Structure 1
């Protein structure tokens, strides 16, 4: 029988990186406690340093292909995007919203996002989901003072794949539900103010307020979904149970999760904007700049995705500790906390 979670035993290893990680953990009196977003980032970088080859392998094999397809929009049919954009603009106009350049651009981006997500769904539910599981397993192995074992990971994935896919499908439904709710609320608020007698220019402000409130709610939903994926890898729960467990676990730590989400979103948007401007729009002379700028930006995007997944895993461990401290009134080390909460998985 093998344990997927963290074992409380401290073993000596021949790997100098793991020995250094253990020494640094003792040096810093490392404990799983409530951490700020900056501390989670530092912890993530520390984990990346001591298992850099493993994480870079995950990024190269599993994250980069998805990033390349996503950034290039090679699967997106622009004619479909155009038709969807026109329908959104007509809906916005019928709701009373003025067709300002900002609204037109928002409809265009939303259409591209919907079509891109739909076309890339097979990649999301295979390579992307597998990369998230690999990152969580690698972080868990690092804290367990163990090396990443591909063969053991393969066996573990075969055991947890059904609950992983089930949780991901529920995550997709939550995200789709949030976006649908936003569109309904936006149309309702805009129509209501239009009926009251506000002109189209004034309706923009309550619409922006609805968008601001939705952004915070949507960010919380994404945080819950990200932690739910981590939970279904490390614990024997899936689907709605994982989402409920996640929402309960991050209680009191929502602000930290929001900062993590904000940093990741800004990083991904920045790289995506660079790719749009430097690769899709600009080129030097014969376009040779795309030969090196494109792959470089794909690597940058993949690295941000990797860091985001790692921070979600570290955030889970931090929330676990925070929850235990709140219930027990005392702090526990990372190994003690995970030894209590880890679920054993039978591996033949």
Structure 2
């Protein structure tokens, strides 16, 4: 990453993608290692859960159908079918919980690894895969706190939406005015969720590169986005559209596929594409962070940032008063 901060702030929409490709290609070895060991497993976990969820859900639908068409007078058969359905529902939700935990862990690890690596490149620090893996667990804890605050905000927004929807159903209903108000409320909600989405992604970068995390990182992210909201939104939406495209392509060629060999080959293809998408999304988010910092005239002191990164790796030991006094006496 040879650009100075003054140059970074002038990167446009296409310039951001070009810079992301340039950073990746010039340090392809370490990014390939990170992608294969952290990002690819995340992609496999996400895509595998689509296929497994489809299988489990199909079993639940069949069991519900059998239960609906079983005479309750046939006590033994009805009870057995009901038990099977309960077991399938339990298995489905346990699987979803396990998926959420593993996906969250690998997602935060991916963010930690990529952002830390780019920061090292930006400060001209030597970075190796071994060093990144040593740092990642420490950065992961900060990201977890930020994620929990983001989760609380999203959950609260869903509760508010449900309350508004209930109020709308009671007061306005399906009248012309009611439908109009409902569409407006839905558009506002979707816009808010998108805003929270790219605010959270930038907050993740802040949590790694600065001394703030959690709710403070989200507030700082909100301030940094000002002035570049359109750019952030455009890139965020493109990323989501690519993600949706991979999801739909996987469902069509793997979940809906018939040939086992075809399903395996397509699954490998979509996993690689998703891994590339996640990698470039993280690199682009870090570049956007630098752009937003430059836009608000918040200089990034490379020396201070380098010291901040050394704290993660355990190589940085600040001088205490005795050290300074000793050096002074030697002079």
How far does residue 45 in structure 1 lie from its aligned partner after superposition? 1.2
Deviations 1:150-171 (A, max 9, x none): 3332443344343222112212
Q: Does residue 1:47 correspond to 2:20, yes or no?
A: no
CA distance in 2, matches of 1:315, 1:277: 33
Partner in structure 1 of residue 274 of structure 2? 301
How far does residue 296 in structure 1 lie from its aligned partner after superposition? 0.6
Q: Does residue 1:170 correspond to 2:156, yes or no?
A: no
Check whether the contact 1:66–1:124 (CA below 8 A) recurs between aligned residues.
Answer: yes
Q: Which has the higher contact order (CA 8 A, sep 6+)?
A: 1
Q: Does residue 1:36 correspond to 2:12, yes or no?
A: yes
Mark the runs of 5 or more structure 1 residues left unpaired by the alignment: 1-20, 83-113, 326-335
- Give the number of the structure whose residues are more often helix, by fraction: 2
Deviations 1:120-153 (A, max 9, x none): 2221332211110111012112222344323332
Deviations 1:84-128 (A, max 9, x none): xxxxxxxxxxxxxxxxxxxxxxxxxxxxxx998744222133221
Partner in structure 1 of residue 35 of structure 2? 59
Q: How many residues align?
A: 277
CA 1:148–1:181: 2 relative to 1, 3 Å: farther
Partner in structure 1 of residue 124 of structure 2? 145
How far does residue 79 in structure 1 lie from its aligned partner after superposition? 7.4
CA distance in 2, matches of 1:62, 1:271: 19
Q: Does residue 1:254 correspond to 2:229, yes or no?
A: yes
CA 1:166–1:80: 2 relative to 1, 3 Å: farther
CA distance in 1, matches of 2:219, 2:111: 20
Partner in structure 1 of residue 300 of structure 2? 337
CA 1:191–1:308: 2 relative to 1, 3 Å: farther
The alignment's TM-score, normalised by the length of structure 1, stands at 0.70
How far does residue 61 in structure 1 lie from its aligned partner after superposition? 1.3
CA distance in 2, matches of 1:206, 1:182: 13
Partner in structure 2 of residue 231 of structure 1? 206
CA distance in 2, matches of 1:128, 1:291: 24
Across the aligned residues of Structure 1 and Structure 2, the Cα RMSD in angstroms comes to 2.9
CA 1:290–1:205: 2 relative to 1, 3 Å: farther
How far does residue 57 in structure 1 lie from its aligned partner after superposition? 2.1
The within-5 A match list for 1:1-348 is 22=2, 25=3, 31-73=7-49, 76=53, 77-78=56-57, 118-194=97-173, 198=175, 204-283=179-258, 286-324=259-297, 337-339=300-302, 342=305, 344=308, 345-346=310-311, 347-348=314-315
Check whether the contact 2:117–2:132 (CA below 8 A) recurs between aligned residues.
Answer: no
CA 1:145–1:309: 2 relative to 1, 3 Å: same
Larger radius of gyration between Structure 1 and Structure 2: 2
The alignment's TM-score, normalised by the length of structure 2, stands at 0.74
CA distance in 1, matches of 2:282, 2:96: 19
